[in-house]
């Protein structure tokens, strides 16, 4: 089957490469000529483990191509996937659907009868109705169907998530289009992947509800970690204990500096905004957003406290910049808040990340970047582990101890072996551990901030202090 995917960002590239690996003929389309030229020359604009090899294999097998020409790409196509960005609307909480609607309008100009238009982008409920209306208005006689097929790809394991999914959700109200979607996903169904067929609106809600629930789990365990510090309990033991309950599960119960990335922050806000537009109150979601914002506001001060409260003129080494490991994504990364707080208090910051330093330069100013972890910590007055990269677990801590000026490590991800670290002479601070409770802790109370007449939760952007600037918004396709 011929699949056209409009948008060659994270979701579009991974989906395109994986669909081609399933044997379909795929064209990834993007209006960014520079990106398409890079892909056609063998480059990949994002870091995702295994993606470059998968793309190369399917290009070599003539199943995967890249183009800026949507009109010609749609000739003979069975599916047109919309996989463009839906960032938070500037100055608000709603998802910005400008790119989605622009693509729908462009598809309408060249669509052929029998085309299934599939929204892969994360969108509020009702977007499928709007996409269908846009195409129907432009081409009233066109035989087509608008379908929702949300993605559930975790950055860092996206290929495996696609090929071995927990579930595939297909929201479709048109029988013939449902049959075509079954054919599209038959290779996955044949290997045992659960395929869930729902109404289109239900599929759109499923995506937002899933992300909001996972965000709630993270906010919950972060608050429990604070409680554990206060009562001299170990949060890792608590998380393991409650995670063994099959009704709860262990995933997303790792405490840390707050969630970030391209999904949880914006999707929770968009769900809340959509609910408010329908006069529905989502208090649990609202509280989770507020708790996470408080976490990220307070994490810098927590680090400064662990470092002895005096960081002016000192060099602090930051290990890890991206919002999570195995990605180069810096969007909403907690490291931004940490670095902003340190710089505000007069510290010099040196940083190292295995994949994220190029992207970090779009967000950070006055940061020195090191080639490796050892260069990063040399002469430092303190070390902060901000991202859970595996390579940090395997560091030679005796060597690190010989390099630093002051042997203090603040492990915000609880990934380091405390016995090895402390045996090397380090003072180790962890999240939610009894030892952490012995140091002064600054608690930040979550605030539910509602501007007049909107009821939306407002977030403080790290750019407010002048040390961080927002990344450029993705261009519309």
Model confidence, pTM: 0.86
Residue 446 lies in a domain: no
Contact call for residues 367 and 351 (beta carbons, < 8 A): yes
d(CA 449, CA 456): 7
Across the chain, which distance is largest between two alpha carbons, in Å? Answer: 75
Q: 53 and 157 in one domain?
A: yes
Domain that holds residue 272: 239-437
Question: Which CATH number goes with the domain that contains 11?
Answer: 3.40.50.720
Residue 80 lies in a domain: yes
Q: 47 and 164 in one domain?
A: yes
How many other C-beta atoms lie within 10 A of the C-beta of residue 78?
17
Spatial CA neighbour of 414 closest among 219, 128, 186, 221: 221
User: 195: Cβ–Cβ under 8 A, 6 or more apart, which residues?
Assistant: 167, 168, 170, 182, 185, 188, 189
Structure confidence at residue 440 (pLDDT): 39
Sheet holding 427-430, edge to edge: 367-369, 348-352, 315-319, 382-385, 408-411, 427-430
Residue 244 lies in a domain: yes
| Token pair recorded at residue 459 | 């977030």
Q: What angle do CA 370, 371, 375 make, to 5 degrees?
A: 60
Q: 260 and 138 in one domain?
A: no
**Can you give 299-346 as a three-state secondary structure string?**
HHHHHHHHCCCCCCCCEEEEECCCCCCCCCCCCCCHHHHHHHHHHHCC
**Can you give 197-244 as a three-state secondary structure string?**
EECHHHHHHHHHHHHHHHHHHHHHHHHHHHHHHHHCCCHHHHHHHHHC
Q: 172 and 267 in one domain?
A: no
Residue 462 lies in a domain: no
Tell me if residue 125 falls in helix, strand or coil. coil
Contact call for residues 135 and 146 (beta carbons, < 8 A): yes
Judge residue 52's burial from the number of C-beta atoms within 10 Å of its C-beta, 0-12 exposed, 13-18 middle, 19 or more buried.
middle
CA 253 distance to own-chain centroid: 17
Looking only at the bridges linking them, the beta strands covering 315-319 and 195-198 are: unpaired
Cα within 13 Å of Cα(96), Cβ side: 14
Looking only at the bridges linking them, the beta strands covering 367-369 and 382-385 are: unpaired
Judge residue 98's burial from the number of C-beta atoms within 10 Å of its C-beta, 0-12 exposed, 13-18 middle, 19 or more buried.
middle
Q: 94 and 12 in one domain?
A: yes
Annotated active-site residue 18? The verdict is: no
Give how many domains the chain has, as a whole number. Answer: 2
Q: 386 and 322 in one domain?
A: yes
Q: 113 and 256 in one domain?
A: no
Q: Which residue has the tokens 């999240």?
A: 431
Catalytic residue among 18, 28, 172, 263: 263
Cα within 13 Å of Cα(370), Cβ side: 21
Residue 445 lies in a domain: no
Residue 335 lies in a domain: yes
d(CA 150, CA 154): 13
d(CA 282, CA 272): 6
Residue 467 lies in a domain: no
The tens place of each residue's pLDDT in the chain, 477 residues long, gives 999 999 999 999 999 999 999 999 999 999 999 999 999 998 999 999 999 999 999 999 999 999 999 999 999 999 999 999 999 998 889 999 999 999 999 999 999 999 999 999 999 999 999 999 999 999 999 999 999 999 999 999 999 999 999 999 999 999 999 999 999 999 999 999 999 999 999 999 999 999 999 999 999 999 999 999 999 999 999 999 999 999 999 999 999 999 999 899 999 999 999 999 999 999 999 999 999 999 999 999 999 999 999 999 999 999 999 999 999 999 999 999 999 999 999 999 999 999 999 999 999 999 999 999 999 999 999 999 999 999 999 999 999 999 999 999 999 999 999 999 999 999 999 999 875 444 434 344 444 544 444 444 444 333 334 334 344 444 443
Q: 254 and 170 in one domain?
A: no
Q: What angle do CA 325, 253, 243 make, to 5 degrees?
A: 135
Q: 249 and 353 in one domain?
A: yes
Structure confidence at residue 455 (pLDDT): 43
Residue 233 lies in a domain: no
Q: 38 and 173 in one domain?
A: yes
Q: 129 and 19 in one domain?
A: yes
Q: 289 and 180 in one domain?
A: no
Structure confidence at residue 436 (pLDDT): 43
Which residues, in sequence order, are bridge partners of residue 185?
none
Structure confidence at residue 434 (pLDDT): 78
């Amino acid at each position: 089957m011929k699949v056209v995917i409009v948008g060659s960002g994270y979701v579009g590239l991974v989906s395109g490469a994986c669909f081609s690996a399933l044997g379909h003929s795929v064209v990834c389309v993007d209006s960014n000529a520079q990106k398409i030229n890079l892909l056609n020359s063998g480059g990949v604009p994002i870091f995702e483990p295994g993606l470059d090899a998968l793309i190369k294999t399917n290009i070599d097998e003539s199943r995967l191509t890249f183009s800026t020409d949507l009109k010609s790409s749609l000739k003979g196509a069975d599916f047109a996937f919309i996989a463009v960005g839906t960032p938070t609307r500037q100055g608000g909480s709603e998802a910005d659907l400008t790119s989605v609607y622009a693509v729908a309008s462009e598809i309408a100009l060249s669509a052929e009868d029998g085309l299934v238009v599939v929204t892969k982008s994360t969108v509020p409920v009702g977007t499928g109705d709007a996409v269908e209306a846009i195409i129907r208005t432009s081409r009233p006689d066109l035989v087509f169907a608008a379908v929702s097929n949300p993605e559930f790809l975790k950055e860092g394991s996206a290929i495996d998530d696609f090929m071995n999914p927990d579930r595939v959700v297909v929201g479709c109200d048109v029988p013939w289009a449902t049959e075509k979607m079954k054919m599209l996903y038959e290779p996955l169904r044949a290997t045992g992947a659960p395929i869930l067929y729902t109404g289109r609106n239900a599929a759109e809600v499923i995506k937002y509800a899933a992300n909001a629930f996972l965000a709630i789990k993270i906010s919950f365990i972060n608050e429990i970690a604070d409680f554990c510090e206060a009562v001299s309990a170990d949060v890792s033991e608590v998380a393991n204990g409650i995670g063994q309950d099959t009704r709860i599960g262990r995933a997303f119960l790792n405490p840390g500096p707050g969630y970030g990335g391209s999904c949880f922050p914006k999707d929770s806000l968009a769900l809340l905004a959509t609910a408010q537009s329908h006069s529905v109150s989502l208090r649990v979601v609202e509280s989770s957003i507020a708790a996470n914002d408080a976490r990220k506001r307070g994490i810098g001060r927590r680090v400064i406290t662990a470092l002895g409260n005096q960081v002016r003129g000192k060099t602090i080494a930051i290990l890890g910049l991206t919002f999570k490991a195995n990605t180069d994504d810096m969007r909403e990364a907690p490291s931004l808040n940490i670095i902003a707080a340190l710089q505000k208090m007069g510290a010099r910051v040196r940083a190292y990340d295995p994949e994220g330093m190029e992207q970090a330069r779009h967000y950070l100013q006055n940061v020195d970047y090191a080639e490796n972890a050892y260069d990063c910590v040399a002469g430092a007055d303190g070390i902060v582990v901000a991202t859970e990269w595996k390579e940090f677990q395997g560091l030679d801590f005796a060597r690190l101890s010989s390099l630093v000026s002051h042997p203090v490590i603040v492990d915000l991800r609880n990934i380091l072996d405390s016995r090895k670290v402390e045996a090397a002479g380090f003072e180790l601070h962890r999240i939610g551990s009894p030892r952490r409770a012995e140091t002064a802790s600054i608690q930040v109370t979550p605030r539910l901030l509602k501007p007049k007449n909107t009821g939306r939760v407002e977030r403080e952007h790290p750019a407010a202090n002048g040390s961080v600037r927002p990344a450029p918004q993705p261009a519309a396709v």
